[in-house]
């Protein structure tokens, strides 16, 4: 089980290259880090993998997950989860209802769904938070809830888009440990983009640095 990118080139139409010929292999249970400053196309790379690339960009190369060609599939068929730097929860739903939105098996009975959600809340240190308004959560609590909602969808791979950048230093280390341990436990490949070298060091996986095309 691995996520493989082969000779990925992404250009902003009509031809300005952001990423040129990037290849990488993310093994199961590995967190592979793509480092680089803002404006180098890191988030755009994740958009390409997840199937959310804007029509303003051209994409060439191959992306496979468990030997399946992802580029021929729509986003909802790629079975990829994503965590953004803003832990977005639906404001009109309770914390538990937010997690229910991520459940992979939508057909299971209400009782079983509630058991699964309560288990996930407990794992995230949010026991008893089912009926809580997301607006009352701290930044760290929102991050943990957003991760559990993503994991309840049972993704085959996870994309991390600067997921810790808006947390303060102490909270960043706590949430990073929680996120990484959750990935290791599920033994799925994860691709993280960040500008923070401490994220890459904590991931303990392979890494690559990119920079703006045309710079030294």
* pLDDT tens figures, 11-32: 988 878 999 999 999 999 999 9
In-domain check, residue 23: yes
Q: Which pLDDT value is given to residue 190?
A: 97
- In this structure, are residues 50 and 75 in contact, taking their beta carbons and an 8 Å threshold? yes
In-domain check, residue 80: yes
In-domain check, residue 53: yes
Each residue of 61-114: pLDDT tens digit?
Answer: 999 999 999 999 999 999 999 998 887 899 999 999 999 988 876 657 788 889
When divided into structural domains, the chain yields a total of: 1
Q: Which pLDDT value is given to residue 216?
A: 40
Instruction: Give the CATH number, domain containing residue 77.
Output: 3.40.50.300
Confidence of residue 214 (pLDDT cuts 50, 70, 90): low
Domain with 50, as residue range(s), is: 2-91+139-209
Each residue of 140-180: pLDDT tens digit?
Answer: 899 899 999 999 999 999 999 998 888 888 888 889 999 99
In-domain check, residue 204: yes
In-domain check, residue 126: no
Q: Which pLDDT value is given to residue 109?
A: 79
Q: Which residue has the higher pLDDT, 13 or 194?
A: 194
- In this structure, are residues 124 and 174 in contact, taking their beta carbons and an 8 Å threshold? no
Spatial neighbors of 77 by CB under 8 A, at least 6 apart, are: none
In-domain check, residue 97: no
């Amino acid at each position: 089980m691995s996520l493989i990118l082969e000779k990925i080139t992404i250009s902003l139409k009509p031809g300005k290259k952001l990423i040129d010929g990037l290849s990488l292999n993310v093994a199961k249970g590995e967190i592979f880090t793509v480092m680089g400053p803002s404006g180098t196309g890191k988030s755009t790379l994740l958009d390409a993998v997840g199937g959310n690339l804007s029509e303003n960009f051209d994409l060439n190369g191959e992306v496979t997950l468990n030997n399946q060609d992802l580029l021929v599939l729509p986003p909802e068929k790629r079975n990829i989860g994503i965590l953004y730097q803003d832990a977005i929860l639906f404001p009109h739903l309770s914390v538990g209802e937010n997690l229910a939105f991520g459940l992979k098996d939508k057909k299971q009975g209400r009782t079983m769904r509630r058991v699964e959600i309560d288990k996930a809340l407990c794992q995230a240190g949010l026991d008893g938070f089912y009926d809580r308004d997301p607006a009352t959560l701290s930044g760290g609590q929102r991050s943990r809830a957003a991760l559990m909602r993503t994991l309840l969808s049972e993704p085959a791979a996870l994309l991390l888009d600067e997921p810790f950048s808006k947390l303060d230093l102490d909270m960043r280390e706590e949430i990073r440990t929680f996120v990484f341990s959750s990935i290791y436990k599920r033994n799925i490949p994860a691709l993280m983009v960040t500008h923070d070298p401490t994220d890459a060091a904590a991931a303990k996986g392979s890494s690559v640095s990119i920079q703006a095309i045309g710079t030294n």
